[in-house]
Structure 1
């Protein structure tokens, strides 16, 4: 009967070990994947560890680069009262990119929701490391950029739609003394993704849903079903 005689370590095998394993067909080497073969009897156990950090998501692309594209594509910020007027008079759609729970708790009437971020779902080594990083700061519901964000928007809005992107408090493209490049936010990252993928009429809600509520503008909620 075959038995497990050793346990793979997270380090790469030595060059001599790698040569032997590779020549015997018991290990696989590729970018971002560690694979160590343990052979006993007639059975082979392969342990894979996808430990390489994936490509940068949109949130990690340099804000200056995103801001330049937003300005080039003439993405304009509108205050909450103008947004309400545009929604009522010019068929603008408010795209709320907050988490679904926040959206249900209160949003502008008629707004649609596609989450820009979602709870981390996968369990690769990288995802576990990210969960631990969040937990270190006392955050036990870590989030990640929603890889299905664009598909979610495309299912609801075509490329010609007039869109006002909104998040909680929003950022700004306006320079200030302390922030010469402005400050990014979920809604600005979403706007960047939209114009990068062919949406032509993208606006940004200045002050976000927080200011919308603070100004006393209409809000609707969605009751959770029991």
Structure 2
């Protein structure tokens, strides 16, 4: 390979890698990846969760699909989108962690909008796993039910946040509760813990979410 061929090879190679960078360089597409990490969804479901129009959501999904970051499964009239494989979540998680480490604006946003999180006594994945083995904790999955069905922590009860208050009579007060949701920036678990504590329960939140639990090699049912 001469110098000209070598240069052409390098430019084409890095151009292919840049396809992934371009697909990720949009906040809406990053949010869609975060949602798809919970399980496969239709365009309509993703649009509702992300607060976008169906047409705009579909356009962003096509960009992600063009970069081979998502796939679609057809069933009747519907297409169900999912992450292409677990490495896609790994890339999003790496971006998230790098942003937390290098961008002070992210820390400011979290502290401004997610106040008093440390008072909720976050539980790490390893600690929760050990406590599940000892059977001395009750775990609540406060995500939407379809996300619970797609995958959940073994033994966790599905109690979507909007139904939690009506379910309180079924929750024993003599056992500590850990609530979890989608990820570190999801507020469902924060709100669940705040409600439980206001009613006299001992409650904490899982520090991260189900995709991070899975990525750590922890068992998942569903």
TM-score relative to the length of structure 2: 0.46
Bigger RCO of structures 1 and 2 (CA < 8 A, at least 6 apart)? 1
- Higher normalized helix content (fraction of residues): 2
- Higher normalized strand content (fraction of residues): 1
